[in-house]
Structure 1
């Protein structure tokens, strides 16, 4: 077993964009490049604002910085390769590079979900138990939650990647996606183990993601009634404002993820699969910093104070 050759395929071909008209690929390249750069800039701007504005040195914004970091790393694992392949005639990826891409994309994707869950718990503690908030969300406790999220994401990425690439691949080496994703890779696997791996990986991923989603929903089952009990209109608006950006990102994240991973089986064109995958891998990270910047009044005000005022002092 120690000398087992795990794969007879040394490289794969990513054919996600091969069926699109060639004259559209430069337009896709420009669009995705701009979205990628905006995603990086938006998340870096959020992190810099939180770092410079002392009033934002709270658990909620610590988790937001961790979330921005995971989004930057997630897009870094997928988008640069996608941009290169859009302008390349040979869209090949080595076995090792494919495994690495899968590991990092799953690691940062699950880390993102775990951090969104922790942010939901943070809002629950702040709104439902304000007198005990400093105890429930102590600096040490917050640091442990962030480390737990990253460690759990890494374990999930390692489990999925090891399970898939432990299989033997033979015959066709064409992956019908623009990235190394589990379902198309399992179709290339030889032997009877592929079906068992597909069921195991699917069960692990769906259990983890649905578990996070249910915990977030449970948090808001308690949060919404607590907000409605706040006597002042200003207090209710402030509480809703701190939750609105998080809840919006959760809805966008899980809506697009469900469309990609839980879609019904049936006839589907390669173009349709590719465009659907783009909504989760490129569009969701692109929207996240926009939502947090526009719907979080405290963060938006801090951005104006920290950066825009330096360009034009009359802004504030």
Structure 2
């Protein structure tokens, strides 16, 4: 496959890309990585699927926090399914080529879901702020209609922003090396392979990342700063404070994981990047964070544990009746 690079540099137009991924690893290493990532992918799918089932069917979890949490799990499932199955296939096959259209589609879906998740995390922080700082008006401010509008707006913003980023990534022709030094079509790497002036596209991607990543982060930091101030002002018991801090800490942990890896990928100069640095951060926000979200955010929650127990009880009852 490598000889194709010389032809491309002579002026041919790129019609497909080659995802280098882990092709330089030994067969035993690839087999180990396949087993590990398949286990992580299966675990992430199972845990997020369970969160969706519980939050959308258990009447005792009928609150905005769990409504947002169910949609976060759905976004996580979409995110990992966009990238990981393809990587698993490439770990066991020698053909790592993807068509131009497939690369565009994958990049758009990553943009859409990633941006939507950034916005949703900010809305979740605002929800915690209203619940803790304005408990008497919580039901009115965070009504079901408002929650639906907030979730829909995160999806719409992701779709619109994805179109802009997709255009900026593919606005120039591709006539250079078609080898992508990662396991999926990541925008900064693909833009660097384009002809013309990739710097303009990179600058716009950087500006967009500032808006998409830092604006929600400002809302998150502001919300939690006010939450912290409100908690410290109250003369509540230490156990009540501990429960509130635990809920906030869970959400902040998710935010730190997701935002840190995304900022490294889209807000750092390409001169500071390299395959050895890009892949770990790409893995962090494409599979590790979606897998950790249910553990960090849900399974420490007593209400969630109770809902899981009720769900398992219904399953066992259904099995007993079928017998």
What is the TM-score normalised by the length of structure 2?
0.88
Q: Which residue in 2 is equivalent to 1:136?
A: 141
What secondary structure sits across from 1:169 in the alignment? coil
For 2:78 and 2:228, how far apart are their aligned partners in 1?
Answer: 33
For 2:252 and 2:33, how far apart are their aligned partners in 1?
Answer: 30
Displacement of 1:47 in angstroms is 1.2
1:260–1:187 Cα change, 3 Å: closer
* Correspondence 1:1-316 to 2 at 5 A: 8-192=13-197, 194-233=198-237, 234-263=239-268, 266=271, 270-307=275-312
CA deviations over 1:229-284 (Å, ceiling 9, x no partner): 33332432332233232122112222332343345655665344323321221111
Question: Contact 1:52–1:306 at 8 Å: present in 2 too?
Answer: no
1:103–1:27 Cα change, 3 Å: same
Question: Contact 2:31–2:92 at 8 Å: present in 1 too?
Answer: yes
For 1:282 and 1:250, how far apart are their aligned partners in 2?
Answer: 15
Extract unaligned runs of 5+ from structure 1.
1-6
Comparing 101-110 and 276-285, the one that deviates more: 276-285
1:203–1:269 Cα change, 3 Å: closer
What secondary structure sits across from 2:299 in the alignment? helix
Comparing 302-311 and 92-101, the one that deviates more: 302-311
Displacement of 1:136 in angstroms is 1.0
1:230–1:296 Cα change, 3 Å: farther
CA deviations over 1:28-61 (Å, ceiling 9, x no partner): 0111011011111111111111123212111111
Q: Which residue in 1 is equivalent to 2:3?
A: none
Extract unaligned runs of 5+ from structure 2.
1-11, 318-323
Question: Contact 2:170–2:191 at 8 Å: present in 1 too?
Answer: no
1:258–1:279 Cα change, 3 Å: same
Question: Contact 1:101–1:180 at 8 Å: present in 2 too?
Answer: yes
Question: Contact 1:230–1:236 at 8 Å: present in 2 too?
Answer: no
Displacement of 1:166 in angstroms is 2.2
Question: Contact 1:29–1:86 at 8 Å: present in 2 too?
Answer: yes
What secondary structure sits across from 1:190 in the alignment? coil
Question: How many pairs align?
Answer: 305
Displacement of 1:75 in angstroms is 0.8
What secondary structure sits across from 2:17 in the alignment? strand
What secondary structure sits across from 2:261 in the alignment? helix
Question: Contact 1:106–1:157 at 8 Å: present in 2 too?
Answer: yes
What is the TM-score normalised by the length of structure 1?
0.90
Q: Which residue in 2 is equivalent to 1:4?
A: none
What secondary structure sits across from 2:41 in the alignment? helix
